Amino acid sequence: GVPYADGSAYETIGDCRQAVIECFVNNGSHYVISAEHAKRNLNITMCSTYKKPVLPSYLVRYVDSWRKQNPTWELRFYDDSTCLEFVKKEFPEYYDAYVGLPKDVERADFFRYMVLLRLGGTYADIDTECRVPLDDILLPTDTLVLGWENEFPTEAKAVKRHYVRTKQILQWVAVAAPGHPALRAVCDFINEHAHSRFSNNTNRDTLERTGPGAWTDVMLRFARDMLPVQERWGRKRADD
């Protein structure tokens, strides 16, 4: 990655709507996946992407918010060409799927999962604002930190608002330890389904193939599988 043209750095999770931050596996006020499931805990790297190497002026204030709130974190910025180089070098097994995706936005989705898988730290969309320091939010034991994007009582209401899940996890900001198996799982899913059709609507296909549909399904499946039986179902059977 290369720094922003103006030398600025950015950060993560200022406004996750009602969801502040949630991880998995109950640990007091946070849900956390224990460190044994990642190579190491969170590092102080932040990544973001934009299609060109120089940012337009209206995005600079967002970048500045990350730098001001998290001055000790390292910033890495990737444009389309450096994204391609990164995937070719770090994930040759995903390269064909990456370049074969039908839309740039799908490649942007796929890249964020790969860069977190390899480097760990924080990913944030270039137009997100950081309102609180990451170090004030993250716990030493955190290895995957995510937020709820929205929740709806019915699928129809979710679809009306252009969501693909009634309970949807956002993927415009995420914090993870490098090598986290949930990230590997979502990358494997996209690699397998890069040319799959999920509907007759291309926008819906994008959300299901690489976007919050795929992301939410994999993350919640991983969280469910990680939770002890009594936390998943409320209590154990008497003969367990």
**Nearest Cα to Cα of residue 31 among 213, 232, 236:** 232
**Nearest Cα to Cα of residue 72 among 38, 42, 36:** 42
Query: 88-131 pLDDT, tens per residue?
Result: 999 999 999 999 999 999 999 999 999 999 999 999 999 999 99
CA 175, CA 178: separation in Å to the nearest integer? Answer: 10
Query: 175-199 pLDDT, tens per residue?
Result: 999 999 999 999 999 999 999 999 9
Chain-centroid distance of CA 230 in Å reads: 28
For residue 224, what pLDDT is reported?
A: 84
- Cβ neighbours for 115, distance < 8 A, ≥ 6 positions apart: 47, 76, 78, 86, 123
Burial 71-83 (b: 16+ CB within 10 A, else e): eebebbbbbbebb
Q: Is 46 helix (H, G, I), strand (E, B) or coil?
A: strand
